[in-house]
């Protein structure tokens, strides 16, 4: 399918930017039944919806010669939830309408309002802005909406979630009743439906979400890990993929700050984006990513809205998205314009079922894989280094002169080894991760544990045993590394674990030494392969009597009178609350 029935200057602009065929949402708004009508459009991030609504409003802006119509006041108003998204929309409309003479002005929070007022005074055909700043200009009398022909609400659901309902109402109430309203929203909650009913007339519903569900250009992976290992997993993923640009999503600005500081300390070139950063700081961070001075961006969902980084190939959900739509929005930062991308979810063991349900709801087929180990990262480093060194390059005379000096002092092997050392020393060290102790891998797959020794620890679930502190306890008391501890199987009253045979004797001797901090924790060797008792069914106690043998319910009441009669000091029909609920 190709672009059709477009003004000549818009067709030329699209061709110049490399647009050969419309995306599904762009094709939908160009259909005959959408011409001149109010629209409700559902399309996922990265689907080309900005160009779509730019094409949809062409009839409201251009004359028969593809030139912008004379106007005393703005003809189109585009409202977006964040500064970055508004600026991105403005840039897209500028190149699309650049040859037509249509002027685009932006009004967004965090920018100089005096410059915006001068731009509005000079006149603009299209205004793009955020709700709060647009309302401010409207109330000051610097924004005239009386000639408006079309309003676009971009990511309307997000604007309502962010508390812009009142601002939107004020702005829409100030527009002419006969204007068109194009509402773009990834989801259709009740507030969006109410907004559409109030401000739209006979709107055409367009949805391309189902059609694109799952985003074929994005490869999804999910990794079940120990909660305490999330930061370590992030480090290993960044080191393993060595993506040109990666974005890490956190739920709160505090978590963004903490993760950004941790990655910077480890040597990653990282920037942070959250609500606590000023517009100037955000601009510097984004420019650092575009200039390749930084390769990692740690951000919250809202702060990442509108970010468009062409080289973004990796998205890591450090904290689980709140729903399937947020998962789509986050992941849609990559896999754009036909390029491939990878989206990875880090899933604490206890939340795997929730994530599986979310993926089913989003119709996403994610591969459940293990996070990369330190050994896998080093192997990938080696392959990348060899490929880099074997790539033909132009060598200057100055480079050859230095090479000759080096060869005069050292052998070629020593120089090559020094080069490898310099390269590796500049890379952040990978982390050792806690193994998934809930379901140990087959013994044949556990390298180094073909002939392991098993031990018994006198603590279990009833003592709140958890791999997050059991493993560090074993390593500290036994003076061994994490890689020398194998499977850990936590049961009701004890914990079984395996240790590499080569260190078993030393481990046992070290562990049995007294430690005041772990008083009462004891260890004993286990002969051979331990047998695992079947796990009891949830909700059924081991000592529960069969139902047929239990006394009638009324006979089990706490009572001082005859069986089944209420206590004398208690009114019939009322239960006394336990002390802990008073």
pLDDT in tens, the chain (582 residues): 456 678 889 988 988 888 888 888 888 888 888 889 999 998 766 678 889 999 999 999 998 888 998 888 999 999 998 887 888 899 999 999 999 999 999 999 878 899 999 999 999 999 999 999 999 999 999 999 999 999 999 988 878 877 888 999 999 999 999 999 999 887 777 888 888 899 999 899 988 765 444 455 789 999 988 888 899 999 999 999 999 899 999 988 899 999 999 999 888 999 998 878 877 888 888 889 888 899 999 998 877 766 777 788 899 999 998 888 788 878 887 876 567 889 999 998 878 888 998 898 888 889 999 899 888 998 998 888 888 888 887 888 888 899 888 888 889 888 888 888 888 888 888 888 765 444 444 443 455 566 788 999 998 888 878 877 888 888 888 888 888 888 888 888 899 998 988 888 888 888 887 665 566 788 889 887 776 555 544 444 444 444 444 445 444 444 344 344 444 444 444 444 444 433
From the list 158, 227, 225, the residue with the least C-alpha distance to 195 is 158
* 8 Å CB contact between 150 and 120: no
Dist. CA 521–CA 394, nearest whole Å: 64
Cα–Cα distance between 205 and 207 in angstroms, integer?
Answer: 7
**Phi, psi values for residue 361, rounded to 5°:** -65, -35
Nearest to 344 by CA among 429, 413, 247: 247
**Same fold yes or no, 8-212 and 218-375:** yes
Instruction: Please state which of the four CATH numbers 3.30.70.330, 3.40.309.10, 3.40.50.720, 3.30.70.1350 is assigned to the domain occupying 443-526.
Output: 3.30.70.330
Q: Domain spans of the chain?
A: 8-212, 218-375, 443-526
What are the two backbone dihedrals, phi and then psi, of residue 452, each rounded to the nearest 5 degrees? -90, 165
**Is 260 strand, coil or helix?**
helix
CATH class of 8-212: alpha beta
Asked if 155 contacts 187 with a C-beta cutoff of 8 angstroms, the reply is no
Residue 541, helix vs strand vs coil: coil
Phi then psi for 577, rounded to 5 degrees?
A: -75, 140
Do β-strands 367-368 and 341-348 pair in parallel, antiparallel, or remain unpaired?
A: unpaired
CATH number for 218-375 (one of 3.40.640.10, 3.40.50.300, 3.40.50.150, 3.30.200.20): it is 3.40.50.300
pTM: 0.55
Cβ atoms of 13 and 99 closer than 8 Å: yes
């Amino acid at each position: 399918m190709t672009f059709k029935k477009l003004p000549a200057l818009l067709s030329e602009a699209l061709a110049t930017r490399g647009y050969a065929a419309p995306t599904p949402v762009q094709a939908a708004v160009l259909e005959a039944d959408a011409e001149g009508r109010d629209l409700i459009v559902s399309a996922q991030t990265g689907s080309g919806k900005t160009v779509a609504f730019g094409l949809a409003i062409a009839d409201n802006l251009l004359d028969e010669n593809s030139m912008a119509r004379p106007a005393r006041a703005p003809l189109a108003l585009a409202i977006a939830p964040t500064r970055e998204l508004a600026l991105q929309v403005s840039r897209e409309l500028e190149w699309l309408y650049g040859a037509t003479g249509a002027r685009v002005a932006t009004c967004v929070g965090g920018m100089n309002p005096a410059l915006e007022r001068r731009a509005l005074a000079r006149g603009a055909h299209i205004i793009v802005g955020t709700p709060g700043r647009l309302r401010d200009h409207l109330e000051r009398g610097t924004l005239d909406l009386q000639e408006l022909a079309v309003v676009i609400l971009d990511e309307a659901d997000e604007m309502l979630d962010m508390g812009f309902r009142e601002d939107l109402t004020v702005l829409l109430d100030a527009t002419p009743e006969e204007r068109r309203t194009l509402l773009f929203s990834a989801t259709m909650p009740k507030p969006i439906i109410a907004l559409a009913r109030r401000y739209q007339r006979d709107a055409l519903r367009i949805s391309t979400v189902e059609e694109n569900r799952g985003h074929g250009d994005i490869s999804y992976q999910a990794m079940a890990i120990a909660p305490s290992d999330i930061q370590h997993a992030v480090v290993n993923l960044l080191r393993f993929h060595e993506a040109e640009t990666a974005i890490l999503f956190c739920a709160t600005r505090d978590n963004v700050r903490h993760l950004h500081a941790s990655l910077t300390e480890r040597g990653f070139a990282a920037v942070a984006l959250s609500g606590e950063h000023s517009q100037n700081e955000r601009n510097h961070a984004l420019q650092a990513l575009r200039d390749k001075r930084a390769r990692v961006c740690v951000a919250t969902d809202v702060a990442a809205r509108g970010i468009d980084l062409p080289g973004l190939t990796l998205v890591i959900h450090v904290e689980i998205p709140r729903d399937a739509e947020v998962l789509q929005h986050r992941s849609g930062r990559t896999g754009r314009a036909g390029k491939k991308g990878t989206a990875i979810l880090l899933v604490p063991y206890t939340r795997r079922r929730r994530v599986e349900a979310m993926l089913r709801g989003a119709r996403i087929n994610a591969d459940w894989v293990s996070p990369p180990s330190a050994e896998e990262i080093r192997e990938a480093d080696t392959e990348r280094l060899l490929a880099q060194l074997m790539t033909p390059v132009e060598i200057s005379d100055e480079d050859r002169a230095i090479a000759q000096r080096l060869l005069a002092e050292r052998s070629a092997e020593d120089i090559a080894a020094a080069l490898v050392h310099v390269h590796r020393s500049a890379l952040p060290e990978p982390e050792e991760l806690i193994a998934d102790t809930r379901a140990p891998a087959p013994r044949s797959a556990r390298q180094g544990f073909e002939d392991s020794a098993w031990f018994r620890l006198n603590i279990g679930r009833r003592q709140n045993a958890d791999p997050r502190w059991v493993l560090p306890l074993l390593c500290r008391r036994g003076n061994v590394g994490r890689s020398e501890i194998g499977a850990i199987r936590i049961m009701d009253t004890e914990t079984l674990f395996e240790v590499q045979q080569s260190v078993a004797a030393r481990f046992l001797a070290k562990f049995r030494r007294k430690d005041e901090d772990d008083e009462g924790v004891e260890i004993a060797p286990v002969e051979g392969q331990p047998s695992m008792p079947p796990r009891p069914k949830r909700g059924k106690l081991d000592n529960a009597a069969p139902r047929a043998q239990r006394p009638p319910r009324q006979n089990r009441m706490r009572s001082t009178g005859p069986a089944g009669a209420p206590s004398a000091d208690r009114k019939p029909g009322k239960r006394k609350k336990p002390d802990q609920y008073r």
